[in-house]
Structure 1
Amino acid sequence: MQLAFVLVEPKVPENVGAAARALCTMGFGELWLVNSDLHTRPEAHWLAHGSDHILDNARIFPDLAAVRNSVDLLMGTSAKPRHQRQDWHAPAALRQALASKGTSVATAALVFGREDRGLSNEELALCDLLTGIPMKVAYPSLNLAQSVMLYAWEMSGLSLPAQAQAEPAHNEVRLGALRQRLETLLPMLEAPAQGKLSQWIFQRLPLLTERDVGFVHTLCGNIERAVSRHKR
């Protein structure tokens, strides 16, 4: 699994540099930025301190939707659960969820919001899972670079260099492909309360283990064949 750390429209170049340094010290190399060029600023490189290569190789995306289309699993950071969702995980629980994915997830992305207002509701709605850092006091939030450091420490060892990764799963057993398959299949079923069913399925989909993903792919195949026979 490749794990990317995504900064959405960061405001302070020093935070970008400090985030790059945090990733480097924990063995990560994928820094992605949304709608930002702060990684090119001298201030970012001042704080990078030996991790300039991460800034130089940062990937840039126009919006979070473009990131969504580039990964199998998208995880957003939020101080608390949103949209009445039950899939909010502390960092340790998030690591366990990621570790269970095996080769069903080739690329995952952990998303951090803006320093002043975090991620919007629309951006959080794009995420498969939400995560946050429980705090002992009622303080609004951690500094962006501090948050990246805590997650990088917790997730250390999950992400491997490309040449060291296990053979990625074929599309038919990948989590991202399963999401796309269900987005096509569910509207075809015309089930009562379909909206609630779809919401229930997609909230639980990111929690599946590698074995579960393969099973649901097989189940989808059986349903697709049944639907095709019914139409004929």
Structure 2
Amino acid sequence: MQLAFVLVEPKVPENVGAAARALCTMGFGELWLVNSDLHTRPEAHWLAHGSDHILDSARIFPDLAAVRNSVDLLMGTSAKPRHQRQHWHAPGQLREALASKGASVATAALVFGREDRGLSNEELALCDLLTGIPMKVAYPSLNLAQSVMLYAWELSGLAAAAETQTEYADSNRLGALRGRLETLLPELNTPPEGKLSQWVFERLPLLTERDIGFVHTLCSNIERVLVGRKSRTDKPGP
């Protein structure tokens, strides 16, 4: 699994440089930025300290929707559960969830919001799951680079595991399963805005690698039944 750390419209170049240093220290190398060029500023490189290569190779996206289309699993950071989500993962729980995916997730992205206002509700709605750092204060807040460092430390074992991961068929990945369900559920008279669809897509990121393969098989069986029904319906009468 390739794990990218995404900074959405960061305001302070020093935070970008410090985030790059945190990733390098913990064995990660993918820094993505949304609508920002702060990684090119001298101030960012001042704090990078040996991780300039991460800044130099940072990927830039116009918006979070473009990131969504580039990964199998999108995880948003939030100070508290939001957007009617029932599941909110602390960093340690997030690590367990990612470890259970095996090779079914080729690329995952962990998204950090703006220093002053975080991620918008619309951006959080794009994420498969939400994560946050439990704190002992009423209005929790950490510096952006501190948050990146904490998650990079907690998830550091995944960086080593990615080096030995075997290849996995594209059709069995989590992103492919999401696409199949987005097509299949409406055919079962389950609208995307309905409660069942919301329930399915909220729990989809929680599946283990084995569960993902099982649901792929289930989708294949349902698709065959639907195709059979359509063929019988399309046959001309006697």
- TM-score bracket, normalised by the shorter chain, equals over 0.9
Contact 1:2 1:160 in 2 (8 A): no
Whole-angstrom CA distance in 2 between matches of 1:216 and 1:43: 48
Contact 1:7 1:113 in 2 (8 A): yes
Q: One-letter code of the match for 2:57?
A: N
State the match for 1:146 in structure 2. 146
Give the number of the structure whose alpha-carbon radius of gyration is greater: 2
Whole-angstrom CA distance in 1 between matches of 2:67 and 2:13: 21
Alignment of 1:101-112 (within 5 A): 101-112=101-112
Cα deviation, residue 113, structure 1: 0.1
TM-score, scaled to structure 1: 0.96
Alignment of 1:29-40 (within 5 A): 29-40=29-40
State the match for 2:180 in structure 1. 181
Cα deviation, residue 168, structure 1: 2.5
Aligned residues: 231
State the match for 1:49 in structure 2. 49
Cα deviation, residue 191, structure 1: 4.6
Q: One-letter code of the match for 2:124?
A: L
**1:134-189: CA deviations, max 9, x gaps?**
00122431000000000000000202497x34223112210000000100010011
Whole-angstrom CA distance in 2 between matches of 1:139 and 1:192: 37
State the match for 1:92 in structure 2. 92
Contact 1:104 1:168 in 2 (8 A): no
Whole-angstrom CA distance in 2 between matches of 1:45 and 1:161: 29
Contact 1:6 1:33 in 2 (8 A): yes
Whole-angstrom CA distance in 2 between matches of 1:169 and 1:116: 40
Cα deviation, residue 21, structure 1: 0.4
Q: Which deviates further from its counterpart, 100-109 or 186-195? A: 186-195
Q: One-letter code of the match for 1:225?
A: R
User: How has the CA–CA distance of structure 1 residues 13 and 173 changed in structure 2, closer, same or farther, with 3 Å as cutoff?
Assistant: same
**1:183-213: CA deviations, max 9, x gaps?**
0010011159971111110000000000000
Aligned to 1:53, the other structure's residue is in SS state: helix
Whole-angstrom CA distance in 2 between matches of 1:192 and 1:45: 48
State the match for 1:63 in structure 2. 63
TM-score, scaled to structure 2: 0.94
Cα deviation, residue 87, structure 1: 1.9
State the match for 1:117 in structure 2. 117
Aligned to 1:158, the other structure's residue is in SS state: helix
Contact 2:91 2:132 in 1 (8 A): yes
Q: One-letter code of the match for 2:3?
A: L
RMSD: 1.5
